[in-house]
Structure 1
């Protein structure tokens, strides 16, 4: 299944790039994500950080601009190429390669001060394998920072049809793309284990079983921020949350 997932994200990489390009141009979005990342990894300077599932390299770019030492991995060759272009454009050095975030065979155990993952865990065929691997590559006391979405969220259920129409218009205007093109295939979604569970409680249970100490869980990262463009465009799909955990 990992090959299928890799191909899918490569196929839509140019479309996803437009979404992230819009964020790079939005100063408010930049500040928000800089604060979230800083709160997650802590204040220690020049940390060695893994961006697991970097996509177009948004989080890796922001962290590298703060002076941290970045390694970025993504399973999709198309995403890796876009991330490489973004790193060059923003004049940051990132050790970037194509690989499976649940099988980091290039990385030695106890290597990183922090592992960051944004909108990745829900796409994985085995979240447990990824969490185990991220535990392995973290140093003792290292932090895991996960941003993801709870797709079982029923909040604003009555507003959702209208919200989806507003989202379509906003995506069309800000990203210059048709948001109905290249949606994730139903057969692929059905095989993803974290689409059909309540999150972040399920993540918390798994992380604690592995041995992580939960530092913070922020169940609604953007809500009810009706003036934040990313939330207006994509908030109807899931409730965004943040988990900060420590390898104790």
Structure 2
């Protein structure tokens, strides 16, 4: 099987448990965490169009709809799209467009969206540079892009080389973020394709910034401490203390989450 097929097969197999986790996040404290983070960056105005790239179960699409956007959400996995549609029907989101589409080859006209968000997508792509070019192409001048990712592929590659076992790869700290335990077979599949992607050997997020600058994105902000806002300590939240946050930590072989945010030049 070619590498693109392996990537799609992996995410399609994870679609159901992934959906369950994101629904739990929507019901819990993660909704407020992400609403707060996104609200700091969204453009002002009415009738704004947002694109959720790699929507998965629809988590960010639902939040963007709550923030008043006209939302389009895409994913390469049909299983993910099917679950996102089911979740939207269950939760009463009737106006979101869910489309099966390749994030590296978007089927939208130039300057179609005011805001673009993505999470944990770029590290899975055969050509993330091409993806960034496409994302910037469909963004309107003055539009904003927000990407969350990590050096996951690099982390998985190093874990394999170090002989890290299955239990160690699943050694996550407790937090408000819902994470599903993957089978050892799925983890091996993930590591196999991840180490073949060129992005796993790149220094990030500096690389992301360079590519965005080349594609007309300016006023770029990098947050390499965003994990401290996302992976919040459970006990701290149960006590109602939103300031009690986790320190830097690694979840199995995962690298720390970062955010890259920028504005397209007018």
2:82 match: 81
Identify if the C-alpha distance between structure 1 residues 163 and 29 changes in structure 2 by more than 3 Å, giving closer, same or farther. farther
Give the C-alpha shift of residue 99 in structure 1. Answer: 0.9
Alignment of 1:75-224 (within 5 A): 75-92=76-93, 93-105=95-107, 107-151=108-152, 166-167=171-172, 178-181=181-184, 182-183=186-187, 184-223=189-228
* 1:221–1:241 Cα contact (<8 Å) kept: yes
**TM-score (normalised: structure 1):** 0.84
C-alpha distance in 2 between matches for 1:12 and 1:204: 30
Match of 1:8 among 1, 7, 10: 10
Structure 1 residues 123, 83: closer, same or farther in 2, change over 3 A?
same
Paired with 1:21 and 1:54, the residues of 2 have a C-alpha distance of 13
Residue 243 of structure 1 deviates from its aligned partner by 1.0
Q: Given that residues 170 and 252 in structure 2 are in contact (C-alpha distance below 8 angstroms), is that contact kept between their aligned partners in structure 1?
A: no
| Equivalence for 1:157 | none
Partner of 1:215, secondary structure, is: strand
Consecutive unaligned residues of structure 1, counting only runs of 5 or more, are 154-159
CA RMSD, 1 decimal: 2.9
Larger deviation, residues 94-103 vs 179-188: 179-188
Find runs of 4+ consecutive structure 1 residues off by over 6 angstroms.
160-163
- Indicate how the Cα distance of structure 1 residues 222 and 135 shifts in structure 2: closer, same or farther if over 3 A, else same: same
What is the match of residue 58 of structure 1?
Answer: 59
1:45 and 1:36 map into 2 onto residues whose CA distance is 20
Deviation digits for residues 101-128 of structure 1 (CA, Å, limit 9, x no counterpart)? 11112x1111100111111111111111
Question: Within 1, Cα distance between the matches of 2:77 and 2:192?
Answer: 19
* TM-score (structure 2 length as normaliser): 0.78
Instruction: Determine which of 16, 22, 25 is the counterpart of 2:24.
Output: 22
Is 1:243–2:248 an aligned residue pair?
no
Alignment partner for residue 227 of structure 1, among 222, 226, 233? 233
Secondary structure at 1:40 match in 2: coil
CA distance change for structure 1 residues 7 and 16 in 2, over 3 Å: closer, same or farther?
same
Q: Tell me the distance in 1 between the aligned counterparts of 2:171 and 2:252.
A: 11
Distance of 1:29 and 1:11 partners within structure 2: 24
